Amino acid sequence: MKLTIVVWIAMAVLFAASVQARDDADPNAFAIGDRLDPAAAGASVDGFRELTWDDLIPPDWLPEDLFEGLFDDADLDRLEDYDPRAIEIMEKIREIWDAAPVVERLSGQRIRIPGFVVPLEGDGDHIREFLLVPYFGACIHVPPPPANQLIHVMPEREIPARWNMVPVWVSGVLTVARYDSELGTAGYQMRGMLVEEYKE
């Protein structure tokens, strides 16, 4: 396989890029990179304040500045996936992403946020723990987003296994806590009091 490095770089630099259009043939289908719209950001629903994914990013964090000079000496079009230079660049990107700062003042708040389910623990019938991610395909088809764009969710009740990569609303108490997994490093954790399928 060639140029996984390019995918990493594209997702790293453009993780907050605009939403891709959904497939015209199936309006319910999602394309890699699709995001969900919050119903009314800042509004309160059943005692949970609705947040957007941008609310989880400190306003002074400018990831594009962190990548300045990282790719200057690399001829990315010629790099193979297993080239030591490609591996080194991907490791640096992952290091920057895993260290992404969080918004400390959100810890302990009751929030509601939409996202996609990436299972961590479960069986063929249920999911007991999952990562909530801001766009379709994150951690599965494309590299994980920064730590401040991943929430480790521990729902009060197991959710159906068929909700793998399904859009959901999660309502619960957000805490600032790192969680490392093979799929990515989350900067937040959440006790999911309510997990329900997403509806606009």
Q: Where are the domains of the chain?
A: 18-58+102-197
> Residue 127: which of 140, 114, 115, 118 has the closest Cα?
118
Is 139 in contact with 180 (CB distance < 8 Å)?
Answer: no
What CA–CA distance (Å, rounded) separates 103 from 101?
Answer: 7
DSSP at 47: T
Helix boundaries (H) for the chain? 4-13, 63-66, 84-98
Crossing angle for the helix pair 84-98 and 4-13, nearest 10 degrees? 30
pLDDT at position 70: 63
pLDDT at site 91? 83
Evaluate whether 89 touches 72 at the Cβ level (below 8 Å): no
Single out the residue of 149, 168, 180 nearest to residue 56, CA to CA: 149
Residue 189 has a pLDDT of 98
Nearest by Cα to 140 from 105, 168, 166, 173: 166
Does the domain spanning 18-58+102-197 belong to CATH 2.40.50.870?
yes
Residue numbers of the chain with a pLDDT score lower than 70 = 1-28, 38-41, 67, 69-77, 79, 81, 141
Q: Are the CB atoms for 115 and 36 separated by under 8 Å? A: yes
Burial of 24 (0-12, 13-18, 19+ CB in 10 A): exposed
- Per-residue pLDDT of 49-72, as tens digits, reads 999 999 999 999 987 777 676 666
Count the neighbouring beta carbons within 10 Å of the beta carbon of residue 140: 16
Instruction: Give Cβ neighbours of residue 11 (< 8 Å, ≥ 6 apart).
Output: 142, 143, 145
Do 160 and 108 touch, CB atoms closer than 8 A?
no
User: Look-up: residue for tokens 């806590």?
Assistant: 177
Give the pLDDT of residue 76.
Answer: 62
Query: What pLDDT shows up at residue 49?
Result: 94
